[in-house]
């Protein structure tokens, strides 16, 4: 599947946005010196943050943002039909990010809060990640995405390989970085649940993990429950914390 991009000398890339802040697209523009090399390897044919020209013919599509309207879902389906490979950019596209907070309240009332008297002009539904609507071939995770991670993903795709994606939790990277544990500082931390790949960025600068990269594969739930009990926390408290970026219930 990934070898398909090698058909063209310079694969055509389109970047689309849904409900998001466009911060992940800006991270691509922030590549600075590396961007020149990227432009020598791919041809951007749709990228609203960077260019006015556009094309409906592309090989690789990247989608940033959550699906909040039926028109968003239709857009995703059209992109899937036209692109050889489709990937997501950032937390809003997966796991669902900050837009997913709407799912924890009255979805209909949310439109009125945001748009007031004109709410009827903006059809809205519970927030979905992109992969709840279409099949996705790969993900570039984070809020915002990490520039190094993006380059490694693009390099793998151009070589016809599946992009790397750690299966273990952020705690592993925290141990490698020799960070002090946030729980020992009396804070909650989602590192035991969250997929690694960020280099434990937030904990390394004295913060904690907020779960922006989504869940790791098969997290050790029993160990996590024991850790919560040891520090006087309940599963309900950590679940509420986890909902900040993970407001979509998979399988629901």
Domain match, 18 and 90 both? yes
Which residues lie below 8 Å from residue 112, measured CB to CB, with a gap of 6+? Answer: 119
Give the per-residue SS3 of 75-123: HHHHHHHHCCEEEEEHHHHCCCCHHHHHHHCCHHHHHHHHHHHHHHHCC
Report yes or no: 169 and 191 within 8 Å, Cβ to Cβ. yes
Is the model more confident about 12 or about 219?
12
Domain match, 176 and 98 both? no
Is position 104 within any domain? yes
Is position 165 within any domain? no
Is position 193 within any domain? yes
Q: What does residue 126 show for φ and ψ, rounded to 5 degrees? A: -50, 145
Average pLDDT, the chain: 90
Of 137, 158, 179, the domain-final residue: 158
| Percent of the chain at pLDDT exceeding 90 | 64
Domain match, 154 and 175 both? no
Least confident of 60-64, 111-115, 174-178, 193-197: 111-115
The pLDDT assigned to 195 comes to 95
The pLDDT assigned to 198 comes to 94
Is position 252 within any domain? no
Q: How far apart are CA 212 and CA 242, in angstroms?
A: 9
Is position 249 within any domain? no
List the domain range (segments joined by +) for residue 24.
2-158
Domain match, 93 and 129 both? yes
Domain match, 140 and 112 both? yes
Confidence at 8, pLDDT banded by 50, 70, 90: low
Domain match, 225 and 147 both? no
CB count in 10 Å sphere of residue 13: 24
Domain match, 92 and 182 both? no
Domain match, 58 and 144 both? yes
Is position 225 within any domain? yes
Evaluate if residue 252 carries a pLDDT over 60: no
Domain match, 30 and 154 both? yes
Q: How far apart are CA 30 and CA 38, in angstroms?
A: 12
Domain match, 6 and 110 both? yes
Domain count, the chain: 2
Domain match, 97 and 128 both? yes
Which CATH number covers residue 138? 3.40.50.700
Domain match, 124 and 202 both? no
Of 158, 189, 212, the domain-final residue: 158
Least confident of 2-11, 115-124, 144-153: 2-11
Of 158, 186, 218, the domain-final residue: 158
């Amino acid at each position: 599947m990934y070898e398909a991009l090698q058909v063209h000398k310079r694969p055509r890339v389109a970047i689309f946005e849904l409900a998001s802040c466009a911060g992940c697209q800006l991270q691509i523009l922030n590549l600075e010196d590396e961007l020149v090399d990227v432009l020598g390897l791919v041809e951007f044919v749709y990228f609203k943050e960077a260019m006015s020209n556009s094309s409906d013919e592309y090989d690789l599509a990247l989608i940033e943002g959550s699906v909040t309207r039926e028109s968003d879902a239709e857009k995703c389906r059209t992109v899937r039909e036209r692109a050889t490979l489709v990937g997501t950019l950032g937390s809003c596209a997966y796991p669902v990010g900050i837009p997913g907070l709407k799912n924890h309240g009255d979805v209909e009332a949310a439109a009125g809060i945001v748009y007031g008297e004109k709410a009827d002009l903006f059809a809205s539904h519970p927030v979905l990640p992109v992969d709840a609507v279409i099949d996705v071939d790969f993900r570039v995770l984070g809020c915002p995405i990490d520039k190094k991670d993006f380059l490694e993903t693009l390099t793998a795709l151009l070589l016809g390989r599946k992009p790397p994606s750690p299966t273990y939790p952020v705690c592993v990277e925290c141990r490698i970085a020799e960070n002090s544990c946030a729980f020992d500082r009396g804070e909650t931390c989602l590192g035991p649940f969250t997929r690694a790949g960020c280099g434990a960025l937030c904990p390394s600068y004295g913060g904690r993990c907020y779960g922006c990269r989504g869940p790791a594969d098969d997290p050790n739930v029993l160990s996590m429950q024991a850790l919560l009990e040891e520090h006087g926390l309940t599963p309900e408290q950590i679940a509420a914390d986890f909902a900040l970026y993970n407001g979509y219930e998979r399988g629901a």
